[in-house]
Amino acid sequence: MKTLLMAITLLIPAIAVSTTWREAEVDDPINIGEKCSVSKPGSYGSYIYQWPSKYDQVFWPFIDANNIWFCKYSGYVSFMSDFADLDKSEKESISAYLKNHKLEEPSVPELLEALEQIYELRNLTPERSNMLLRVFARWYQRFENTEKAHKYRQKAYAEIEKSLTTELPEGKRLEY
């Protein structure tokens, strides 16, 4: 009985800081009519703001592989929040890229490389671009590629310094 109580006591903190995901299907924005199997957030709590990624101002779900949505049919990959927000020129550029760079059964590091390439083809705001630099830094740190993580952080920091010399909304100024 004492062992059971100890096991339960040790498990409660782990349960209290877990996130959950649920299976979902979404439309493939590249190949109209096709569906993509993805994961959507199920539950999380304010504890996500205490994880070490906070030092890069990067928060869950960006540090979770489930946030990387991949369409097997087209090969399209994107973070969940940007997945369907493609304009016509982005769709054309990404479609052309995927003709020669389609992934079949990618690992997370392969998805990360594809994300980098596809986001280069996206029309991003400076703020979104900066956030993605910090996200990539966190991912490369996770994969122990500190040199690449450092390069992403240096680029993000230089952009932040430049942005701080301009008019920014108060929230963004405080974040930077």
pLDDT per position in the chain (176 positions), as tens? 665 545 555 544 444 558 999 999 999 999 999 999 999 999 999 998 899 888 888 999 999 999 999 999 999 999 999 999 899 999 999 999 999 998 989 999 999 999 999 999 999 999 999 999 999 999 999 999 999 999 999 999 999 999 999 998 998 888 88
Most distant pair of Cα atoms in the chain: their distance: 64
CB contact at 8 A, 59 and 49: yes
Return the H-helix or E-strand segment holding 134. helix 126-142
Q: Are 129 and 123 in contact (CB under 8 A)?
A: no
And the tokens for 33?
């009519």
C-beta of residue 149 within 8 angstroms of C-beta of residue 116: no
| Predicted pLDDT of residue 3 | 57
Give the number of C-alpha atoms closer than 13 A to the C-alpha of residue 47, restricted to the C-beta side: 10
pTM value is: 0.84
